Structure 1
Amino acid sequence: MSVVDLRGAEDFAAHPYPYYAKLRAEGPVHQVRTDDLERVWMIVGYEEARAALADQRFSKDWRTTETLTASSNPINANMLELDPPHHTRLRKLVAREFTARRIEALRPRVEQITGELLDAMVPAGRADLIDAFAFPLPMTVICELIGVPDIDRDAFRRMSNAIVTPVSAEAESAAVHAMGAYLDELIEDKRCSPGDDLLSALIRARVEDGDGLSRDELTGMAFLLLVAGHETTVNLISNGVRALLDHPGQLALLRARPELIDGAVEEMLRYDGPVATATFRFTREPVTIGSVVIPRGEAVLVALGSGDRDAGRYPDPDTFDITRQAQGHLAFGHGIHFCLGAPLARMEGRIAVQALLERCPGLERDPEGGEPDWLPGLLLRGVRRLPVRW
């Protein structure tokens, strides 16, 4: 086991996979130093990562450890940061809204939004694909699903980015408090003017069912659904398009055989997925991984992006191949915290990429677009801008 100091790795955000490969060659788990933490454990092997994601010896509740502290703001009381039975109860309340049948019913609206965005974008001949397409598509879909179509999306995006890709502890703390206040007001407005939407349904459950959601739980749930409902899909679309543009042969193959889109999206998720590491876990007891013992009460990161490049799972893992059988990847996690919105993200990704290629047959990087501006931090994988032309 090695101790890796990522504080000096200036190119890690742009090129994490060589670092992961070196770590995997040395063992499945390592101590890592980051800008925020003097010590955190990182699991990098596929089998070990998959096992850890489903291992109940790891807690998701930061309140169970002294290793990491977080704000008591209600947005930190969301189900992603809770263990059973609290997690089980909260997930059950929203799971029925994300069944395959309900997600499929959204397809016509997703296709309509996609078409409208492309109608506005295509005549210009060039665009920042994230601002014009990859961000507004999932943001519109999740806002309509939850019931907040008039949300101030620019303000929400700034707050969301400051929380999930923080540039400083101070900026993150300010964004957490601003987001909590914003969502609290949003929930109060929805309580006064309910509709036929997910947030209204959750509020009714809180009122009519004694075991429903408290006000803080509603705030945490709204935060998780809104942020997770768009941030990851933005990066799924933009990372997927970047991968295609970087591999012209695969782009040509997908154009020639559009029926490969389902497998192509799975390979996009495996090859350069939107989430680099799962959110923190904490050891309830000493946990042995390989020959390494992680002591009780330690913070642990599961490197999803590393696991999905493990040659023990995927032959020639650094090759982008849309015909690969990429099923079983870790991009949406595994176990009880497997991403609830995975079916929606997959559908949005398939519709978006296919429609984009159909409407923009000459799609390529904009040579005047400048160098990529990579998202900071260890959580999300992606760029802030993706200048393209067609």
Structure 2
Amino acid sequence: MTPAPISAQITDYAHRADPYPLYAELRETPVRREDDGTYLVSTYYEVRGLANDPRLSNDTRNRPPGYARVGQPAEETGLPPSFIFTDPPLHDRLRDTINRPFGPPHSPRFLDGLRGDLAGAVTELLDAFEGKDQVDIVEDFSYPLPVTAICRVLGIPREDEPRFHGWADVLASSLDPHSGDDGREKAQRARDEMGAYLTDLIESKRRHPGPGMLSALAPDMTPKDLEATAVLLLVAGHETTVNAITNTTLTLLRHPDTLQRFQRNPDLAVPLIEEVLRYEPPVQFVPWITALADIDVAGTTIPKGSPVWLMLAAANRDPGRFKDPDRFDPDREDNQHLGFYTGIHYCFGAPLARMELHAAVPELFRRVKDFGLLEDPPPYRANAVLRGPRHLPVAIGGLTA
């Protein structure tokens, strides 16, 4: 039997728990052409170079026929493309506008002002562990926390936060290149429901401004542009952070010596979290890119019009860039990983994600006693792009104050 194309193997759920052997095979051919004309780029310097190459387009309108489903293009959603699916100069204008209420230089205190809310949310979630001998890190901790964060960022009323859980899950799953018709239909329903909600909320924010980005951006963006931005921030700001927190927890539980060292020295949090972002990145690859011209890379020509996948997780374990890359090493020096991508499409929410990780992970391992993995590997989400456990059941031995 002829083996399946490696792209199909990577997106096959059978390899979700451990795709890294496939990535190692992929790196043997740094630029690999699949039978359908897709080019997979998997080595560090080639991925980094192409991510900064203006001859590659994120604009969904440049995708060849048959690839429009990846990333939910504008014509399927009724919305203009969010800035992640645009190129300069539109990308730069949108991103600059959206950044003004989010961070420096225009709003240097915005994220810092969320620290209290995040700390309170972490405390509340961990307090709920009291009296339990088993919890699901995903359902009970890492999944609800980013919903709280992104809703605070947007200015969503607290009583409406539970509605965003289901929308975030469905929309993130739709990014899988092989999500199928059923996945796309579910995503469309979720977008319709969320769109109707946001339309009403944005209009309310225009009349009665309050805290959050929706109010701040309402005077500068059309309702549809603002709605598209909110949908993007929900998916990118939620699902990726869920995976990052869960992947960090799982990695530490698999490395008890490092965990004990971390518990003795919480200052290890910064290099430890950065190493997890390299070792188990929440975004595994970027599959919605198109070549705008012929591009020569590592001895291969990617023809104009070709779809391109940039394999971030494979690049993060490239032995040509990282020494002993399959080893988890918080002491790793010069750790310029691609966990948050690079170039003009570097993760907009990276500062918020890092803040959430630093609020959640040290406190989780400070307060919970005697962790024990109950299932390894745990069940993973279907999504191959935004990869992380669907559940992470653990035994616990109590809770400290």
TM-score using structure 1 length: 0.90
What is the deviation of 1:175? 1.3
What is the deviation of 1:174? 3.3
Deviates more, 1:263-272 or 1:184-193: 184-193
What's 2:188 paired with?
A: 176
Amino acid at match of 1:30: R
Please list, as runs of the form range in 1=range in 2, the aligned pairs for 1:101-140 lying within 5 A after superposition. 101-140=109-148
Cα distance in structure 1, aligned partners of 2:284 and 2:213: 28
Flag structure 2 segments of 5+ consecutive residues without an equivalent: 397-401
What's 1:86 paired with?
A: 90
Q: Is residue 2:201 matched to residue 1:195?
A: no
Q: Aligned to 2:328, what secondary structure does the other structure show?
A: coil
What is the deviation of 1:132? 0.6
* Offset from partner CA, 1:81-110 (integer Å, 9 cap, x none): 000111111101111213364322322221
* Offset from partner CA, 1:221-279 (integer Å, 9 cap, x none): 01111111111000000011111111111111111211110110000100001000024
Cα distance in structure 1, aligned partners of 2:391 and 2:150: 21
Deviates more, 1:285-294 or 1:179-188: 179-188
What's 2:219 paired with?
A: 204
What is the deviation of 1:328? 1.2
Would you say the 8 A contact 1:75–1:180 is kept in 2?
A: no
The verdict on how the C-alpha distance between 1:177 and 1:326 changes in structure 2, with shifts beyond 3 A counting, is farther
Cα distance in structure 2, aligned partners of 1:353 and 1:168: 35
What's 1:57 paired with?
A: 55
* Offset from partner CA, 1:105-127 (integer Å, 9 cap, x none): 32222111111110112431211
What's 2:64 paired with?
A: 66
Q: Aligned to 1:219, what secondary structure does the other structure show?
A: helix
What's 1:208 paired with?
A: none
Count residues with an aligned counterpart.
Answer: 375
What's 1:29 paired with?
A: 31
Cα distance in structure 2, aligned partners of 1:84 and 1:167: 29
Please list, as runs of the form range in 1=range in 2, the aligned pairs for 1:1-390 lying within 5 A after superposition. 4-8=5-9, 10=12, 11-24=14-27, 26-32=28-34, 38-67=36-65, 68-70=67-69, 71=73, 72=75, 73-75=77-79, 77-96=81-100, 97-99=102-104, 101-148=109-156, 149=158, 150-151=160-161, 152-165=163-176, 167-193=179-205, 194-205=209-220, 213-325=221-333, 327-366=335-374, 369=375, 372-390=378-396
Would you say the 8 A contact 1:103–1:344 is kept in 2?
A: yes
What is the deviation of 1:325? 2.5
Cα distance in structure 2, aligned partners of 1:297 and 1:252: 51
The verdict on how the C-alpha distance between 1:336 and 1:180 changes in structure 2, with shifts beyond 3 A counting, is farther
Would you say the 8 A contact 1:65–1:297 is kept in 2?
A: yes
The verdict on how the C-alpha distance between 1:158 and 1:343 changes in structure 2, with shifts beyond 3 A counting, is closer
Flag structure 1 segments of 5+ consecutive residues without an equivalent: 206-212
Amino acid at match of 1:15: D
Cα distance in structure 2, aligned partners of 1:175 and 1:362: 39
Amino acid at match of 1:239: N
> Between the two proteins, what is the percent identity of the paired residues?
34
Cα distance in structure 1, aligned partners of 2:79 and 2:367: 39
Q: Aligned Cα RMSD in Å?
A: 2.1
The verdict on how the C-alpha distance between 1:177 and 1:98 changes in structure 2, with shifts beyond 3 A counting, is farther
Amino acid at match of 2:91: H
What is the deviation of 1:76? 6.2
Deviates more, 1:345-354 or 1:193-202: 193-202
Would you say the 8 A contact 2:173–2:383 is kept in 1?
A: no
The verdict on how the C-alpha distance between 1:161 and 1:88 changes in structure 2, with shifts beyond 3 A counting, is closer
Would you say the 8 A contact 2:103–2:110 is kept in 1?
A: yes
